[in-house]
Structure 1
Amino acid sequence: MSNRTFRITVRGAFDGLTEAQRAELLADAAEHDVLNARFTPEGNLSYDLAARPFFSFRFLDSGEQEEDLVEAASRAEQSARAWLDARGYGYKNLKSQAEDLSQAPLGKRQRRAAARELG
């Protein structure tokens, strides 16, 4: 069996933040800028609270079978909830989207590279 790589994005919105929580998030905003967003095993949070209340966590996981994607998405949502709950941040509309990279279509460069390898 091959090892599959999964990318999971968990999105939501901050809700009912206190002024202190909002100030804390704004102070840390540069480290959570969307331009620095990446998929990591521990999850990477990005937001722009000054513009809108939405956030996203990006997780990288793996599994042996396509069915493992559902479990990976569940783990990612649990991790996002745990991070938010540990800090007392209110949130709503938490949803996840998961992608099995072994099933993703190849980009133009990848198709060319694959054709070179075969030819």
Structure 2
Amino acid sequence: MTTEHTYRVIVRGTWDNLTDESRARLAAGADDHGLARMKFTPEGSLAYDAALRHFTYRFEVVSDAADGEEMAAAIAQDMARTALDDLGHGYRDLRSTATDQDTMKINRKGR
């Protein structure tokens, strides 16, 4: 029996070779994709600013604990690539960080 863990993964990237149509669509949706609206979700949450330089995707990935954070990060990057390709937006330099929520220690303040 394998143990699954939940990972929160942040995928960061840079917009690249955006068409005029992509720029217009992204600019029109910038208010709906600000940092304040970001959540970790299985389908991913995209955030960027109106300058259209960089973007961030946040994913919640459930994966085999034996595969670790590296596999969760790879899964999230693949999901980000697929989503961005489906939207028709150019991008480059994807990088990610993953945190295992099941092993994360929570420090509580003493009372």
For the aligned pair, the TM-score class normalised by the smaller chain equals: 0.7 to 0.9
TM-score w.r.t. structure 1 length? Answer: 0.80
Deviation string 1:57-99 (CA, Å, 9 cap, x unpaired) is: 1000123425243222111111100111122211111001111
Q: Percent sequence identity over matched residues?
A: 37
Q: Counterpart in 2 of 1:117?
A: none
TM-score w.r.t. structure 2 length? Answer: 0.85
Q: For structure 2, which runs of at least 5 residues remain unmatched after alignment?
A: none
Aligned residues: 110
Q: CA deviation at 1:52?
A: 4.8
Change (3 A) 1:85 1:63: closer
Q: CA deviation at 1:106?
A: 1.1
- Structure with greater helix share of residues: 1
Change (3 A) 1:94 1:44: same
Q: For structure 1, which runs of at least 5 residues remain unmatched after alignment?
A: 114-119
Give the RMSD, CA atoms, in angstroms. 2.1
Contact (CA 8 Å) 2:69, 2:100: kept in 1 or not?
yes
